[in-house]
């Protein structure tokens, strides 16, 4: 669980190596996406974290190990921040010495040099191995989750070809420019166009018109609702 908390709190922008930075970002995105889905299914955050750690513990260990090897100062700073401060002792006043200020250009140039430090082939191979391992663990986790959903009967239904055609047609209708969205005649013309296109596609793909009735009704209902709203504004 410690690796999970550390990697989630770590900002990808602090990682100098591009491939490792990208992988950490993908891993964090995948975690939050899966956690959101699990929350909708009634799985508690604590239960999800335990399951996620169990499925991806090896990849997290590899990622943290590689980050520590590339940039040990990241985790060293965290350890130092957790170390209790020593008790204060009374000391004689010290002469204040002015610190030399570094120019912004020098600091920026130093950061750029740090980010563009060339990596050896061995380091590149290690990064690629971590990426491969992480992807494999995430894939295994998704397969395990999908199998559990199928056994429980809660697996999401796969979109049919009819659903995909309807979705693409609706997306085309949504591309209507904002000024024309308030024009009733234009909306009705789009409705007729989408219905004709849908019928033509069903014929060309040799699909069942009967099975497409639900999708046809969905398009009709959507544009009927739009027409009602526009008519109510004009009256």
What is the residue whose two structure tokens read 């950490």? 24
Token output for 137: 């663990």
Token output for 93: 């006043």
| Cα→Cα distances 61→58, 75, 138, 189, 226, Å | 5, 14, 14, 58, 53
Measured distance CA(222)–CA(235) in Å, rounded: 21
Which stretches of the chain are DSSP H helices? Answer: 2-9, 18-40, 45-70, 72-82, 104-115, 121-152, 161-173, 184-204, 213-234
DSSP 209: T
pTM over 0.95? The answer is no
Picking from 128, 137, 122, 132, the residue whose alpha carbon sits closest to that of residue 18 is: 128
The pLDDT of residue 88 is 43
Measured distance CA(229)–CA(235) in Å, rounded: 10
pLDDT tens by residue, the chain, 235 residues: 677 777 788 788 877 777 778 877 887 887 888 888 777 777 777 777 777 777 777 777 777 778 777 777 776 655 555 544 444 444 444 555 555 555 555 555 555 555 555 566 777 777 788 888 888 888 888 888 888 877 887 777 788 999 999 999 999 999 999 889 889 999 999 999 999 999 999 999 999 999 999 999 999 999 999 999 999 887 6
What is the residue whose two structure tokens read 């009927």? 224
Domain ranges of the chain: 2-80+120-152, 161-234
Sequence-separated (6 or more) residues with CB below 8 Å from residue 25: 12
């Amino acid at each position: 669980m410690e690796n999970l908390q550390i990697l989630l709190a770590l900002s990808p922008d602090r990682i100098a190596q591009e491939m490792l930075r990208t992988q950490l970002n993908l891993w964090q995105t995948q975690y939050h996406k899966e956690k959101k889905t699990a929350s909708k299914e009634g799985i508690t955050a604590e239960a999800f974290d335990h399951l996620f750690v169990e499925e991806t513990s090896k990849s997290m260990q590899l990622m943290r190990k590689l980050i520590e090897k590339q940039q040990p100062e990241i985790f060293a700073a965290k350890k130092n921040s957790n170390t209790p401060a020593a008790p204060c002792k009374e000391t004689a006043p010290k002469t204040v010495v002015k610190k030399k200020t570094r120019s912004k250009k020098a600091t920026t140039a130093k950061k750029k040099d740090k980010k563009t430090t060339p990596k050896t082939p061995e380091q590149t191979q290690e990064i690629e191995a971590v990426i491969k391992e992480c992807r494999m663990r995430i894939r295994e986790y998704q397969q395990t989750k999908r199998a559990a959903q199928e056994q429980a009967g809660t697996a999401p239904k796969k979109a049919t070809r009819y659903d995909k055609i309807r979705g693409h047609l609706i997306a085309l209708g949504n591309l209507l420019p904002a000024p024309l969205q308030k024009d009733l005649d234009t909306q009705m013309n789009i409705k007729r166009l989408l219905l004709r296109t849908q019928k033509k596609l069903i014929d060309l793909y040799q699909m069942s018109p009967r099975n497409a009735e639900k999708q046809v009704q969905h398009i009709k209902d959507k544009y009927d609702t739009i027409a009602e709203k526009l008519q109510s504004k004009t009256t």
